[in-house]
Amino acid sequence: MKLKKILALAGVAILALLYIITLISALLTSPAAPQLFKACILATFVVPVFLYGYLLIYRLMRERADAAKKDIDEKIKKGADSN
């Protein structure tokens, strides 16, 4: 659960920084402002998708590791019982 909170805060921070950078470049009439705006719009969708994908893979890997550990513990217990 703690990992989810950390990733959620990191995602919010990344998106907030993107918006701040875009706003500053627009106010300073930077020639890169249109490209920064497009990058910000893209990142608004991409960052949460990547975070969701990371959490999904993490959860699946953790479930497999827990199942493998349980299986190993059962085999060790059966081996100890047979001696």
| Residues of the domain holding 47 | 2-82
Nearest to 40 by CA among 57, 56, 59, 24: 24
d(CA 69, CA 46): 34
Number of structural domains (the chain) is: 1
Query: At 9, which amino acid appears?
Result: L
Please report the pLDDT score of residue 24 as a whole number: 80
> pTM higher than 0.75 for the full model?
no
- Over the range 18-38, which residues count as b (16 or more CB within 10 Å of their CB) and which as e? beeebeebeeeeeeebeebbe
Q: pLDDT tier at 82 (50, 70, 90 boundaries)? A: low
Q: Which tens digits make up the pLDDT trace of 17-64?
A: 888 887 787 787 778 778 877 887 888 888 889 888 988 898 899 888
5-14, 31-40, 63-72 — which is least confidently predicted? 31-40
